[in-house]
Structure 1
Amino acid sequence: MTSTPAAGSVTRADLADAVHREIGLSRTESADLVEQVLDRISEELVAGNNVKISSFGSFVLRDKGLRVGRNPKTGVEVPIEPRTVLTFRPSQLLREAINRG
Structure 2
Amino acid sequence: MRINLTKKDLVNVLYMRVGFSKQIIENLVDEFFSIIVLNLLKKKSVKISKFGTFLIRSKNSRVGRNPKTKEEKEISKRDVVLFKPSKEFKELLNNIRKNAS
Q: TM-score, normalised by structure 2?
A: 0.77
Alignment size in residue pairs: 96
In the alignment, the residues of structure 2 paired with residue 43 and residue 11 of structure 1 have an alpha-carbon distance, to the nearest angstrom, of 21
In the alignment, the residues of structure 1 paired with residue 79 and residue 94 of structure 2 have an alpha-carbon distance, to the nearest angstrom, of 30
> Which has the larger displacement, 36-45 or 53-62?
36-45
2:69 to 69, 74, 77: 74
In the alignment, the residues of structure 2 paired with residue 84 and residue 11 of structure 1 have an alpha-carbon distance, to the nearest angstrom, of 24
In the alignment, the residues of structure 2 paired with residue 99 and residue 24 of structure 1 have an alpha-carbon distance, to the nearest angstrom, of 31
When the two chains are superposed, the root-mean-square deviation of aligned CA atoms in Å is 1.9
Aligned pair in 2 of structure 1 residues 74, 15: CA closer, same or farther (>3 Å)? closer
In the alignment, the residues of structure 2 paired with residue 24 and residue 11 of structure 1 have an alpha-carbon distance, to the nearest angstrom, of 19
* Runs of 4 or more above 3 Å deviation: none
% same residue: 36
| SS of match in other structure, 1:84 | strand
| Superposed CA offset, 1:20-73 (max 9, x none) | 233332222112111111121122234462111111111111111122222222
Unaligned runs of 5+ in 1: none
Aligned counterpart, 2:82: 87
Q: How does 1:3-82 map to 2 (within 5 A)?
A: 5=1, 7-47=2-42, 49-82=44-77
Unaligned runs of 5+ in 2: none
